[in-house]
């Protein structure tokens, strides 16, 4: 079979089924694994599909670089965010040292955190106030205030956070995709998220279903680095590439 014909069949299979495995393609094409892998690599380079572990999925992701402010975000997917926040808070255990990111979903966690001996670090001054009001020990890193997301950012903040070793972190995101990983529109916030994930024993990303198949301008983590907590997944292809917990 000619290369062009194999490529046509691969794309046709993806269009019909939304995901294909390497073994399925080998059988359908009557070709070896090495040949099919080369085909997938070439099609991925051309932007015609996304390679995942053991196969491929369509490239149907959308790029968005719009950063909504806190008030705008707080009006979106409230029921979903509450369910995500409640489950995330249940993961906090006695003696944990936890980082909570700025964001509307992470902020909702605070009402559901059990009364335990837990210490928190957050780069959101609103979160810090709420945690302190709950009676928790809480630290704010130094840095510059970014008003639109009510977050502390900047090189000084990154430097402060590099001194910590967290048992768990809970991170917000603007985009989740197979090709670009976990992303956010702001380079400064991406730096904060990256360093926290690198210094955490377990990293959780809290994102509702609308963030999937979205790409923002700065990737701060690979799918394999984190565990994703979401309300539901519209496309099951993500289950083969990431650790995901659906809570609705």
pLDDT by position in tens, the chain (length 248): 788 889 888 888 887 776 788 999 999 999 999 999 999 998 888 777 878 778 887 777 777 666 666 566 666 678 999 999 999 999 999 999 999 999 999 999 999 999 999 999 999 999 999 999 999 999 999 999 998 888 999 999 999 999 999 999 999 999 998 878 899 989 999 999 999 999 999 999 999 998 998 888 889 999 999 999 999 987 777 888 899 999 99
The first and second tokens of residue 46, run together, are: 């051309």
pLDDT at 70: 58
CA dihedral angle for residue 49, residue 41, residue 187, residue 233, rounded to 10 degrees: 40
Q: Which fold has domain 70-246?
A: Rossmann fold (3.40.50)
pLDDT at 75: 65
Residue ranges of domains in the chain: 3-60, 70-246
207: closest CA among 87, 111, 80, 100? 80
pLDDT at 209: 92
Predicted structure pTM score: 0.78
DSSP conformation class of 131: H
Residue 36: which H helix or E strand, with range? helix 33-45
**How much of the chain is in helix, strand and coil states, percent to nearest 5?**
40, 25, 35
Query: CB–CB of 91/109 below 8 Å?
Result: no
70-246 matches 3-60 in CATH topology: no
Query: CB–CB of 149/189 below 8 Å?
Result: yes
235: closest CA among 209, 196, 215, 200? 209
Please enumerate in sequence order all residues whose Cβ is within 8 A of that of 26, keeping only pairs 6 or more positions apart, or say none. 32, 33, 36
Q: Which fold has domain 3-60?
A: Arc Repressor Mutant, subunit A (1.10.10)
Query: CB–CB of 33/65 below 8 Å?
Result: no
120: closest CA among 112, 110, 111, 5? 110
pLDDT at 247: 97
Radius of gyration over every alpha carbon of the chain, rounded to an integer in angstroms: 20
């Amino acid at each position: 079979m000619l290369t062009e014909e194999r490529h046509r069949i691969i794309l046709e299979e993806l269009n019909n089924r939304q995901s294909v495995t390497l073994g399925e393609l080998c059988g359908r094409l009557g070709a070896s694994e090495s040949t099919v892998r080369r085909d997938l690599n070439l099609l991925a380079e051309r932007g015609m599909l996304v390679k995942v572990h053991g196969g491929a999925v369509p490239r149907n992701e959308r790029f968005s670089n719009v950063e909504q402010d806190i008030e705008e975000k707080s009006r979106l997917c409230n029921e979903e965010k509450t369910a995500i926040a409640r489950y995330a808070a249940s993961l906090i255990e006695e003696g944990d040292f936890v980082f909570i990111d700025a964001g509307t979903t992470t902020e909702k966690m605070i009402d559901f955190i059990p009364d335990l001996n837990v210490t928190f670090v957050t780069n959101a001054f609103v979160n810090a106030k709420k945690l302190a009001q709950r009676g928790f020990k809480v630290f704010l890193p130094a840095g510059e205030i970014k008003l639109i997301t009510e977050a502390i950012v900047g090189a000084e903040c990154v430097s402060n956070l590099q001194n910590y070793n967290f048992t768990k972190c809970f991170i917000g995101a603007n985009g989740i995709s197979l090709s670009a990983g976990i992303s956010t529109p702001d380079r400064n916030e991406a730096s904060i998220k990256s360093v926290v994930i690198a210094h955490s024993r377990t990293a959780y990303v809290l994102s509702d279903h609308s963030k999937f198949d979205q790409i923002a301008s700065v990737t701060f983590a690979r799918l394999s680095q984190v565990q994703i907590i979401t309300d539901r997944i519209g496309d099951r292809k993500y289950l083969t590439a990431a650790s995901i917990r659906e809570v609705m």
